[in-house]
Each structure stands twice: as structure tokens, then as C-alpha cells.
Chain A
Amino acid sequence: MSALRSGRQLVAAVRALLVATVVLGLAYPLLMTGVAQVIAPARADGSLVSVEGSVVGSSLIGQSFTGADGDPLQEYFQTRPSASDYDGAASGGSNLGPNSEELVAAVGERRAAVAALNGVAVDEVPADAVTASGSGLDPDISPEYAALQVVRVAEARGVSMDDVQALVDEYTDGRDLGFIGAPHVRVLELNLALHERFGAEG
């Protein structure tokens, strides 16, 4: 008797799951995709950025600005360290603990490297410049880290600091609505603007 009743619930369960799969698993996401493609197609497709017809990235996704040898390109603003090396197919953080020896060593090395690259003292290097983001794809840096890089970029490009600073200001966002989140500089768009205004090489 009990087995029979359980059997009846199992049949109802199979039927209920089928209905849910069709309505919630197909109709709902497909309808939302349709709506998204109508109301905000560019955003729904990943806020892609194109130059001369070819996709160079997404304004939301960070990328590295290093040469083939892995060294930073002097004429571009550098993004943060990334646990995934800005691989869009493998997002994630380092997950190293706050006392991890590996992380202590990495932070130390990065501080020295960032200081040397920009010709500043190590204690002027801001925290976001030496720590990896949670996504591994952080598109932004702090205004402090951008400020640190202005002189280097201007010198590498042979242009005035004021011109570079003006672009940095243009691509700096405050907190959303003045109080949500943190101020940040949109690096890909900033570097694209540098590229368009002053060319690929310095």
C-alpha cells in the first residue's frame, strides 16, 4: 500500500519536473534572451569593444597589456595581477589564505616590480596593484594605481603628462550613485583611447 502511494508521488514528480523543465528551463530563459536582445543587445552580448571591425575585448573584462616576452608594455596602463592570467575561459581567484607564504612572497615580488617599473618607492604601491582579483578578469584599477602609472606612460609615449592625466580622468568612475562600490579606472577603454589618440607605439 505504502509502496503504491509512493509510486503515485513518483509519477507526479516526473510529470512535475517535465513541466518545470519546459517552462522554467526553456520558455523562461529563451524569452528573457529575446527580451534582452531587443532592449539592450550590446550589453546582452557582453559589451564587446571593436576596433576597425574586429573585436578587441569587452569593456567589462580585463586583459593583460604585456609583450610576447611577458614584460609589461610601458606605453599602456597595467591591470592587476590575475590568478587566471586574464584567461576568459578560466575565471577565478588565487584562493591563497591571508597568511599564505606563497602569497606573502608574491605580494613582495609584485611590490618591487611595480615600484621599479614606475620609478616609485615600494610603500607608494597601492594594494590592488599587488593582489589578484576574485574573478581573475578585473577590468579596473584603483585611481591610486592609475596615478602611479601616469608619468611612466607619458614618458614611454613621449607625450605630456597632462594629456595622459586628462584621459585617465575621462575613464575614471566614482562610486555608483555616489555611494555604491568603489572608485575605479576602466583600463581597456583608457588604453584604447591612448592607442587611438597617440598610436600603438610610444
Chain B
Amino acid sequence: MSATAAGWLQVAVLVIALVAVHKPLGDWMARVLTTDAAPEGPKSRLWPQGHWRVERLVHRAVGVDADAEQRWPVYLRSVLAFSLVSVLFLYLLQRVQQWLPLDNGMAAVKPGSAWNTAISFVTNTNWQGYSGESTMGHLVQMTGLAVQNFTSAAVGIAVAVALVRGFVRSGTDRLGNFWVDVTRAITRVLLPLATVAAVVLVLGGVVQNLSSGTDATTLAGATQFLPGGPVASQEAIKELGTNGGGFYNANSAHPFEGPSAWISLFQVFLLLVIPFSLPRTFGRMVGDRRQGLAIVGVMAGLATASLALTSWAQARAGGAALQLAGAATEGQEVRFGGPLSALFGTATTLTSTGAVNSMHDSYTPTGGMLVLANMMLGEVAPGGVGSGLYGMLVLAVVAVFVAGLMVGRTPEYLGKKLGRREMTLASLYVLVTPVLVLTGTAVAVTTDTGLGSLLNNGSHGLSEVLYAFTSASNNNGSAFAGLSANTPFYNTALGLAMAFGRFLPIVLVVALAGRLAAQGKAPVTAGTLPTHQPLFVGLLGAVVLVVVGLTYFPALALGPLAEALA
């Protein structure tokens, strides 16, 4: 079988698996996150199917009344309080790891790096300025980083569900209970799936031990250190929660994280499965599965186009060095090969994962531009766990508004009128990341301290900086890793980009959800734009591309595009 045929067969099997799983998983998530249809007051019984015993224990330990709902400002405060406490705890844990058990002889993480890493993991970014095997002891990996892999994904699901409830409900100031939503996302979705995935990973060769490593004497007589660690348990939630922070520096390219090709393909499945299932959840919750189908249609269309282009660009081996070598194998593992590397790179940047099984900095100029552009889409095709759905729904609001302008009608989406306030929130949402990306890049390339970290010069150097700020602001976490980002400037600037890039959109989304829930339902009339038909799918896809194109084209032209055309 030719490499190309095998490559597309991999994609076909992946798609079949996603199609097969998205229905039961999407329906299950809708079931466990749906509250009673019409909550009358704060004290009505919300959860018709009740709580699990273990969940009651958690609610009691957290001190929350599971059947009380929150107004949107309280829901938002819960999100922010939980994230703030998480950042502080994770910072502290890294600073004192040398005094705790399972430190593997690691020193305290330096303050700048520890702040950056704390924000990075709490925001679901998993940008890593450090090198895992020489910085983090097993205890920090387990009780710090991996815990945030679960909770940051659960927070994403909670915020997405709050927005969906905004569309579903009418005339209420209640959005649900953040603590119950997060608990359920973990007990009923993330933890069971991660457990199964971890077992599969172990069977495939991913390591899972508490050893601090083994010294081997190689055949040639040298000494080689072989690291240990509870990797499989972390790898599972790292992909499933679209986090992406590698246990080791080389991430999923490391043979202990990605030991074989089928495991790497399995990881691609894990990182796509929840984001591609959530539109189904959305469709179920709004009572019209076609609405979910339209959303997933846009996501799948964009993803397919991106994958086709990236695979083509990588197979062509552009760039002087890669042409001399004969193929784009720099930064690539032999066992994965070109097509699976391009598939992983595409999937990880279209979601907010940022795990890598090959090094993006060494991609062909066009391939590198495409993985960068994937993140610039705002990570909505399908995007991160939860964040992909709420990002796409905000863009759907924009698309409906644009359509409304074109035909001169009051825009409505799912029975909700999109007035001035709603559109202000949606527009601000769309503006947040570009402002962070372009401002950050501009500051970095006009200061000596920013330029000092570049490995490559010329347009590729600009791409390294642009990639870093795009990755941080969109909470992706992958890197053009030639950039030496563990400096005071980049730790601070990228830390701010990650924090604002995560929480400003969340503030806007929860506020939007509150506005929508308070509205009544507008009846569907002949003038209502149907949002489940191909016309709307095309319109939404066009809005995503046009917004990104207009925003980032000048920066792309100076960086990767200039390099690709050179």
C-alpha cells in the first residue's frame, strides 16, 4: 500500500470511530448535564435523575447545595474563584516540590517559570517553557499538572453548557450550578473515559510507574538514562481534555508517551472525541439535533480542508533543508511517518490541545503556516473541550447577525433575539484573541529582549514569535519550539496572553448566557433564518474564515507566507 493510501485510510478509520462514538457520548453528556426543563425558583429539584452517591460526597465536601442554581454573575465568580485558587496552589506546589515526596531530586521551579506553568495548565493551554523530565517531579505531575488537565477541561464543559442553557431557557436569571456541572463532567465523563484510555495506553507501551528512572549501559558502552513516571494516566487526560502538556519535553513524540503509530492515532481520536461530540450534546439540549449537526458540519468541513492542505504541503517537502534531505522528516519519528504526523499536527492545533508527535518548527513553510492558521481560526473546528463549542456558538451568533443585516431583519438564533447588547458581547469575544496575539507579537519583535530568544532568523523567526502568542492566546500550547520561551519576558507576556485569552472570553460567554436566559422565546416565523440548513453551514464557515483572514493576513504575509514564497 502506498504511503498516501495508507495515510487516508488512517483518516477514514478515525472518522468512522468519531462518527460511531459521537452519538452515544454526545447523548450521554446531554443527559447528565441537563437540568429539569423549567426551573421555577432557586430551590426547585433540578436534577431529575438524581446524584450519584460519590457526587453527594463531593458536594458535601465542597459545601455546595447541589439543587440550588446560580445567577450568571455567581456562576462566573465560581469559575474565576476556582481558577484563581488553582493557579495559586499549582504555583506553590512547584515552588516547594523539593521538600515533598516523589520529587525525583528536582529543585524548586523558578518563580517566573512556575507562574507561567500554573497559568498555562489552569487555562487548558499547557504551554511548556520548561522541560518535563528535568523540571517536574512525579508529585507535581500527578497532583498538580494532571489534576488541572481534568479540571480545566471540566470548566470548559461547564461554561459551554451554561451558554447552551442560555439558549434553552427563557425568562430566568439562573444558569445552573457550576460546582455540580464540574463534578458531573469529571465523575460521569472525563474520569471514566480517562481510565479506559489509560489502560489502552499502558497495553500499547506507554509507561506507568513511580520510578525516578533507570541507568542503562548501552551496547556501545555509554550510559543512558531512561526516565520513569506515571505517564499513561496523565497522557490519557492530556489528550481527552485537549490539554496537551507532555510529561516529557518531546511530548507525544517521546517513545514513552507515543510508543507506536497506532497509539499515536488513538491519541488523535482521544483529543477529538469530546469536541466532536459536544455539538450533538448541544443539539439534544436545544431540542433540535439538526442544530448540532449544522455546527458539527462546519467544524468537520474546516478540519477536512485543513488536513488535506497540510498533508499535501508536508508531502511536498518545501524549504531548502528539507528538499536537500529529500523529505520533511526533520522533527519527525520514523514509526509515525509523514501522513500520521500531519494528521496529529492538524488535530492538535484545530483543538486546543497542543500536544505534538512531530516538531512544528521544522515543518515545511506551508505546513507550518497551516498549523498556525488552525489556531488562528480560534480553535473552533472542533476546538477545545467546551471552548470549541462555545467559540463556535458565538461565531454562529455573529453569522446570524451578518445574515440579518443582509436581508434586513432582526437577527434571531434558536428563538433568541440578538440585540445590541448580545452583539456587543459576541463582537468583543471575537476581538479578544487577535488583540492579544498581534499586540504581544508586536511588542516582542520590537524589543531586544523579545528578539533575543529566537533560534531562527528572518521570516521564520517572526513565525516563531507569532506562533507563540497565537498558541498562548488561544490556549493551545504547542510551539515553534525553537523559541527560548523560559525567559522573564516570555514567561510574563505569554502568561498574560494565556490568562486573558482564557478568562476574558469566558466572562463574555457567561454574560451572554445570562442575557439569553433572561429573554423570552421568539416564535419561529417565515422571516426566521433556518440555522440547520446547508446555507447557514456555508455562511458560518465563511464567517470563520473571513474574520480570521482579515485579522491575521498581514502578520501571516510577513512570516510563514513570505517564507513559503521565498
* A16-B210 CB under 8 A given contacts A47-B205, A98-B363: no
Partner of B326 from A54, A103, A126, A180 at Cβ < 8 Å: A126
Q: Decide yes or no whether A160 CB sits under 8 A from chain B.
A: no
> In the complex, which residues of chain B have a beta carbon less than 8 angstroms from the beta carbon of A111?
324-325
Residue of A nearest to B566 (CB): A99
Q: Decide yes or no whether B404 CB sits under 8 A from chain A.
A: no
A5–B74 alpha-carbon span in the complex (Å)? 8
**Are B191 and A176 closer than 8 Å at their CB atoms?**
no
Q: Decide yes or no whether A171 CB sits under 8 A from chain B.
A: no
B121–chain A nearest beta-carbon distance, Å: 12
For chains A and B in complex, what number of residue pairs have CB atoms within 8 angstroms?
381
**Are B325 and A45 closer than 8 Å at their CB atoms?**
no
Partner of B334 from A5, A96, A138 at Cβ < 8 Å: A138
* A32-B233 CB under 8 A given contacts A95-B455, A98-B321, A181-B264: yes
> In the complex, which residues of chain A have a beta carbon less than 8 angstroms from the beta carbon of B332?
131, 133-134
**Are B331 and A93 closer than 8 Å at their CB atoms?**
yes
* A100-B6 CB under 8 A given contacts A24-B147, A39-B199, A92-B249: no
Q: Decide yes or no whether A80 CB sits under 8 A from chain B.
A: yes
Q: Decide yes or no whether A127 CB sits under 8 A from chain B.
A: yes
> In the complex, which residues of chain B have a beta carbon less than 8 angstroms from the beta carbon of A126?
326
Instruction: Kindly identify, within residues 194 to 225 of chain B, every residue whose CB is under 8 Å from any CB belonging to chain A.
Output: 194-195, 198-199, 202-211, 213-222, 224-225
Partner of B77 from A9, A67, A80, A142 at Cβ < 8 Å: A9
Partner of B233 from A5, A29, A141 at Cβ < 8 Å: A29
**Residue of A37, A93, A136, A176 ringed by the most chain B CB atoms within 10 A:** A93
Q: Decide yes or no whether A20 CB sits under 8 A from chain B.
A: yes
> In the complex, which residues of chain A have a beta carbon less than 8 angstroms from the beta carbon of B320?
98-99, 104
A114–B322 alpha-carbon span in the complex (Å)? 17
**Are A44 and B209 closer than 8 Å at their CB atoms?**
yes
Interface size in chain B (residues, C-beta < 8 A)? 123
* A55-B214 CB under 8 A given contacts A12-B78, A35-B199, A89-B227: yes
Interface size of A as a range:
35 or more
Q: Decide yes or no whether B528 CB sits under 8 A from chain A.
A: no
* A134-B333 CB under 8 A given contacts A12-B179, A35-B199, A43-B203: yes
Q: Which stretch from B41-49, B58-66, B445-453 is at the chain A interface? A: B58-66
Q: Decide yes or no whether B297 CB sits under 8 A from chain A.
A: no
**Are A66 and B220 closer than 8 Å at their CB atoms?**
yes
Partner of A5 from B77, B133, B260, B458 at Cβ < 8 Å: B77
**Are A91 and B133 closer than 8 Å at their CB atoms?**
yes
**Are B261 and A176 closer than 8 Å at their CB atoms?**
yes
Residue of A nearest to B365 (CB): A98
Instruction: Kindly identify, within residues 262 to 278 of chain B, every residue whose CB is under 8 Å from any CB belonging to chain A.
Output: 262, 264-265
> In the complex, which residues of chain B have a beta carbon less than 8 angstroms from the beta carbon of A92?
131, 249-250, 481
Partner of B151 from A20, A36, A182 at Cβ < 8 Å: A20
Q: Decide yes or no whether B67 CB sits under 8 A from chain A.
A: no
> In the complex, which residues of chain B have a beta carbon less than 8 angstroms from the beta carbon of A55?
214-217, 226
**Are A180 and B233 closer than 8 Å at their CB atoms?**
no
> In the complex, which residues of chain B have a beta carbon less than 8 angstroms from the beta carbon of A133?
253, 331-334
**Are A132 and B207 closer than 8 Å at their CB atoms?**
no
Instruction: Kindly identify, within residues 145 to 178 of chain A, every residue whose CB is under 8 Å from any CB belonging to chain B.
Output: 173, 175-178
Q: Decide yes or no whether B352 CB sits under 8 A from chain A.
A: no
> In the complex, which residues of chain A have a beta carbon less than 8 angstroms from the beta carbon of B131?
90-92
**A36-53 interface code vs B (CB 8 A; 1 in, 0 out):** 110110011111100000
Partner of B214 from A46, A128, A140, A175 at Cβ < 8 Å: A46
Residue of B nearest to A79 (CB): B334
Q: Decide yes or no whether B243 CB sits under 8 A from chain A.
A: no
> In the complex, which residues of chain A have a beta carbon less than 8 angstroms from the beta carbon of B142?
25-26, 29
A140–B261 alpha-carbon span in the complex (Å)? 12
Q: Decide yes or no whether B232 CB sits under 8 A from chain A.
A: yes
Q: Decide yes or no whether A192 CB sits under 8 A from chain B.
A: yes
A48–B194 alpha-carbon span in the complex (Å)? 26
Could you show 9 A-B contacts with beta carbons less than 8 Å apart?
Answer: A12-B179, A17-B86, A24-B186, A33-B208, A36-B209, A87-B224, A88-B133, A88-B225, A135-B253
The 10 closest A-B pairs by CB, nearest first: A181-B261, A98-B319, A182-B337, A25-B143, A134-B253, A91-B250, A127-B327, A36-B208, A95-B482, A103-B321
Query: Known contacts A65-B220, A131-B329; can you find 20 more A-B pairs with CB under 8 A?
Result: A12-B62, A16-B62, A24-B146, A33-B208, A36-B208, A43-B204, A45-B228, A54-B217, A56-B219, A58-B226, A63-B222, A89-B213, A93-B359, A98-B364, A99-B319, A100-B460, A104-B321, A127-B327, A134-B362, A140-B334
Q: What residues of chain B have their CB less than 8 Å away from a CB belonging to chain A?
A: 1, 3, 5-6, 9-10, 13, 58, 61-64, 74, 77-78, 81-82, 84-86, 89, 131, 133-134, 142-144, 146-147, 150-151, 179, 182, 186, 191, 194-195, 198-199, 202-211, 213-222, 224-228, 230, 232-234, 248-250, 253-256, 259-262, 264-265, 317-322, 324-338, 340, 356-359, 361-365, 368, 455-456, 458, 460, 463, 480-482, 563, 566
Q: What residues of chain A have their CB less than 8 Å away from a CB belonging to chain B?
A: 5-6, 9-21, 24-26, 28-30, 32-33, 35-37, 39-40, 43-48, 54-58, 60-68, 73, 76, 80, 86-100, 103-104, 106-108, 111, 125-128, 130-142, 173, 175-182, 184, 188, 191-192, 195
